[in-house]
Structure 1
């Protein structure tokens, strides 16, 4: 077929002469150029083939029998009875008279013929003894024909075999016999129908006649009579059929005239096999991917493969060119091997048929670099992610303890177990602790007393300033009322500084002291910085009060009496007010709100505690009344001093003006406190547990038998036991004066009362005895003599008791 490049040969008697002539011409003439080049004019790959050659030319043939060893006589067959035969000597040692197998494939010269010759029938050459002529081509060829030119008459029976690959089994190509069924068990002149096995060998008696006695040809066309030969490119069966690495001719039975039966030596010497030419027409098999075959360094014949193919026959794809399965080139497609797409991450791949069926691309990359994976090195290895450059894959490094999976997302962030956080899931979330295989445990922290965080290793909660306990669930000593709204957690015990143990008092409810200015200024005053009074204006329409200034000197709103006095129950609570200015000015001061009391003075800026700058719109301002670094009252005072200030609050001043010719407007003032009444419980009111000598809700009183050590300090003074020298169980708690008994007197019952004598400090009920004197007199003891003498005697008496 023209697509395959081999001539089609028809071997019937009518065209035998023409066939032999054509095949002889093909074998003798080497085609000078290969079938096209492997690329077209535009550089696109196309099918190409090596030139058509006589693959047997000058190739050594191995013969199992050759005449001349030892030298022997042979006679030329004339075919005529009684005619003297011309006889000659075959001597393998004589260059002129040997007929070795080398003459089978040498240059065939009709004028000076050379031939290979076997021993004669006299030496035992005849059926069933066979002779094999084996031609080793050196590599696979696509065989078009096999032609034999006989120097004697053609054999009665012989066969042609081939090997498809080196070392493979011998496969029959064609049988020639005048006795097909008897010798080869084949039907004579059989044929192949469409659908039959097209790799079966046929047998014919067409070339088994004894004539001509010399020069007879036998030409076998590999594709003659095979139905699929017209579609050779699409017939793997025939492509395999024409492939051969070795050709073997087996000579089975000589043709005779029957006269050998008489045993005449001269007759027997005239029967032998002799072949002058053994030709094999075909192309070096390169499957359409090479235009020539070349000798390797070791002398082996190999295809010079193109189209990214490799192998002796261009029968595989080159390494890294496995994106589609290897195919033989066809007329309409070069079927070149395509490179694998490994995205520059590998130079090694293999053909994956499953991948090819699924995607149309079969190149499966191996050994992907830079931690990549996938058929095309298109993704990161498991447990890796692509960095921002997009060129490299970085390890996820997910914590094996804290992560749900060693695989992270595209950003390198791992999926964490409950309570775990961090890009690599290597630490506990705020509010969790103790990272384990199960994740992190939630902190068991009191929401009232903690920051809702705990130590990540131990679970110890982080407590507010005045709170303690593993879970921050109790107030420190000296504090009470665990409150979620208290930034410090608990309120310090006041107790007039006499006790550090207190709790929330029962029976107190939330109360607010307010000024809404609905009906007037509610006794609010105005004051300059130097303390001088200024007038305050009340607006009936706005229901607000205001101050106006013509200078830069600030003016203050001064609160009335209802906001002052003992406001200890407002400790830790809010003073709130609405305020606006007529003209915005940001020149605030450190003393915008001032508290005075107990000989102390503290102040904060207007914008402290998260408040906004004042402007033309009325805004709410809130100030928490307690000591804390978060609420910067200046100067800083201890919580006990702050409580002391509120217990005797003498002034609240709020700055009203901030610039020249400006006004400030005040409204809706509220001070949160508590009172003993039903309502929303005021848990910040304390009930103190008093030490010995103190009593009252706040330990503000001395108990019976105790008195103020320093009465001038009032309730802040410590209480000490009454000193009555054993003559009284009680004393005035404020003055300390004893209620003296046993005829004693004095602040501490340290003396006998008038009309009695003795030592009152002895501490007994008989320390003081009645004076032995007249009525109305007093007495005393003379220290030196211990004599009792009367004093303040009535007129007419003396000091002696008996006088």
Structure 2
């Protein structure tokens, strides 16, 4: 398995350890009123032994039919114990692997003895729940009368149609499986999911108290169905004593599987419904594992919740295209007197009961899906040329008189732009400057000195006066001066 997947498993384990994620939603008070906040959530850890279904193979592997005697490794020649399926006090059926011990009386499932040696004594124990589980701690199995010297723990992700090995156990890994022995604590993040063989729990130590096996698969694998293959019983030594085969058998008194229902972080409860564990799904999800969106709530593809960011994670709620919020809000408020649910704090420039409209000043991006964060585009209307900052559904702004263009930043014919559109004062076609005036940028006529007016249509001279040169006052003054000087020039010279 790749480093990326291994790190993902490790991150999931650490996140689930740091926070329990026991609440799917919480009613909080905001400025808009009381609203629901939704969180990633999961059921509490529990012992799954009460819910597991146990099947043992091959048929007839359980002792007692016919009744038989057996010995123990501690007292190999005192074979006074008996297994009899017809006697409740002497029977050892499979269900005793998951019962609760009472009055310190240990009950256990037991196989037939190895009376057919050298034929292998093989026993398969299948544990199933018809439900996906996530381990919250390591599996523990208690073996009475010695731990097996060789066994394999398998898993199935398809209800037992195919199996994959979790881990191998042997007193000699190289001899049994041609694998070098390893311990789980020796693994690193890069190979944490590697299948290994360990000798830690298979060697005979000569103590009756050494009967527990810790299957260290927490944070390494998810559980669905488990198959424990018992390949060789405890020998009580290094070889099989063929003269006393009644002391070789398998016996299990307890199987402890601490786990939680896998609900994809969409449920905080997992209940027994019609004999099967069932997630009580939230976030508009459904299915035994909350593995799909409810009918009608498929505005976006289903997605498992996320542990991050801690401590509440991300719910990844399934949404309904027309009545939920297209992913633009994760809080809704119930308005009692209107009997409606409305979205609160719409994001991504959306608004409306279901965040289905764009805010004023924004319009719908026709190329984006309704759940796209860029579904609403800003109008960007020109403040000088538009009536207001709103636009229509295609992005066109409402323009003032004379303005044009998508954003109202241009002028129509007959208008000029100057911090807005204004009517032309003059032009080269209809509004011609008169009397030799010239039009400047359609804004004004530049007139000759003797004319004035918007179009230079008005003479600067008053009526009845000579306007062909200097004024009459200036002319009279000049004539008077000429008359004064003329006699002087006419007198004879002496």
The TM-score, its normalising length taken from structure 1, stands at 0.35
Question: Could you tell me whether the CA contact under 8 Å between 1:63 and 1:131 is conserved in 2?
Answer: yes
Q: In the TM superposition, what are the counterparts of 1:395-794 in structure 2 within 5 Å?
A: none
Question: Could you tell me whether the CA contact under 8 Å between 2:265 and 2:315 is conserved in 1?
Answer: no
Aligned residues: 308
Paired residue for 2:436? none
Q: Does 1:204 align with 2:183?
A: no
Once the two structures are superposed, residues 516-545 of structure 1 have per-residue CA deviations (whole angstroms, 9 ceiling, x without a partner) of xxxxxxxxxxxxxxxxxxxxxxxxxxxxxx
Paired residue for 1:327? 304
Unmatched tracts of structure 2, length 5 or more = 1-12, 29-35, 327-347, 351-355, 357-366, 373-395, 397-494
User: Compared with structure 1, are the counterparts of its residues 245 and 194 closer, same or farther at alpha carbon in structure 2 (3 Å cutoff)?
Assistant: closer
Question: Could you tell me whether the CA contact under 8 Å between 2:271 and 2:277 is conserved in 1?
Answer: yes
Structure-2 separation of matches of 1:377 and 1:343: 13
Q: Does 1:3 align with 2:15?
A: yes
Question: Could you tell me whether the CA contact under 8 Å between 1:175 and 1:204 is conserved in 2?
Answer: yes
User: Compared with structure 1, are the counterparts of its residues 171 and 290 closer, same or farther at alpha carbon in structure 2 (3 Å cutoff)?
Assistant: same
Paired residue for 2:224? 245
Structure-2 separation of matches of 1:142 and 1:341: 32
How far has the Cα of 1:163 moved from its partner? 1.5
User: Compared with structure 1, are the counterparts of its residues 343 and 309 closer, same or farther at alpha carbon in structure 2 (3 Å cutoff)?
Assistant: closer
Question: Paired residue for 2:269, among 292, 304, 312?
Answer: 292
Q: CA RMSD in A?
A: 3.6
How far has the Cα of 1:290 moved from its partner? 0.6
How far has the Cα of 1:6 moved from its partner? 9.8
Question: Paired residue for 1:254, among 201, 215, 233?
Answer: 233
Question: Paired residue for 1:283, among 260, 275, 279?
Answer: 260
Paired residue for 2:52? 59
Q: Does 1:104 align with 2:97?
A: yes
Structure-2 separation of matches of 1:139 and 1:121: 35
Structure-1 separation of matches of 2:95 and 2:371: 57
1:49 counterpart SS class: coil
Structure-2 separation of matches of 1:204 and 1:330: 32
Question: Could you tell me whether the CA contact under 8 Å between 1:163 and 1:170 is conserved in 2?
Answer: yes
Q: In the TM superposition, what are the counterparts of 1:112-131 in structure 2 within 5 Å?
A: 112-124=105-117, 128-131=120-123
Structure-1 separation of matches of 2:68 and 2:18: 42
Structure-2 separation of matches of 1:158 and 1:213: 19
Which structure's CA Rg is the greater one? 1
1:102 counterpart SS class: helix
Paired residue for 2:281? 305
Larger relative contact order (Cα-Cα within 8 Å, sequence gap ≥ 6): 2
How far has the Cα of 1:168 moved from its partner? 4.3
1:44 counterpart SS class: strand
Paired residue for 1:268? 245
Paired residue for 2:66? 70
Paired residue for 2:127? 135
1:122 counterpart SS class: coil
User: Compared with structure 1, are the counterparts of its residues 109 and 341 closer, same or farther at alpha carbon in structure 2 (3 Å cutoff)?
Assistant: same
How far has the Cα of 1:137 moved from its partner? 1.5
User: Compared with structure 1, are the counterparts of its residues 157 and 90 closer, same or farther at alpha carbon in structure 2 (3 Å cutoff)?
Assistant: same
Q: Does 1:159 align with 2:152?
A: yes
How far has the Cα of 1:59 moved from its partner? 3.1
Structure-2 separation of matches of 1:77 and 1:286: 45
Structure-2 separation of matches of 1:208 and 1:78: 17
Question: Could you tell me whether the CA contact under 8 Å between 1:134 and 1:248 is conserved in 2?
Answer: yes
Structure-1 separation of matches of 2:233 and 2:203: 11
Question: Could you tell me whether the CA contact under 8 Å between 2:266 and 2:304 is conserved in 1?
Answer: no
How far has the Cα of 1:375 moved from its partner? 5.3
Q: In the TM superposition, what are the counterparts of 1:4-43 in structure 2 within 5 Å?
A: 4-5=16-17, 35-42=21-28, 43=36
Structure-2 separation of matches of 1:110 and 1:209: 31
Structure-1 separation of matches of 2:199 and 2:290: 39
Question: Could you tell me whether the CA contact under 8 Å between 1:57 and 1:279 is conserved in 2?
Answer: no
1:278 counterpart SS class: strand
How far has the Cα of 1:335 moved from its partner? 2.9
Question: Could you tell me whether the CA contact under 8 Å between 2:51 and 2:129 is conserved in 1?
Answer: no
How far has the Cα of 1:128 moved from its partner? 3.6
User: Compared with structure 1, are the counterparts of its residues 94 and 260 closer, same or farther at alpha carbon in structure 2 (3 Å cutoff)?
Assistant: farther
Question: Could you tell me whether the CA contact under 8 Å between 1:77 and 1:270 is conserved in 2?
Answer: yes
Question: Could you tell me whether the CA contact under 8 Å between 1:324 and 1:337 is conserved in 2?
Answer: no
Structure-2 separation of matches of 1:39 and 1:213: 50
The TM-score, its normalising length taken from structure 2, stands at 0.56
Paired residue for 2:399? none
How far has the Cα of 1:306 moved from its partner? 0.6
Structure-2 separation of matches of 1:103 and 1:122: 23
Paired residue for 1:449? none
Question: Could you tell me whether the CA contact under 8 Å between 2:300 and 2:371 is conserved in 1?
Answer: no
Paired residue for 2:294? 318
2:115 counterpart SS class: helix
Question: Could you tell me whether the CA contact under 8 Å between 1:77 and 1:85 is conserved in 2?
Answer: no
1:160 counterpart SS class: strand
Structure-1 separation of matches of 2:320 and 2:245: 69
Q: Does 1:216 align with 2:211?
A: yes
1:89 counterpart SS class: strand
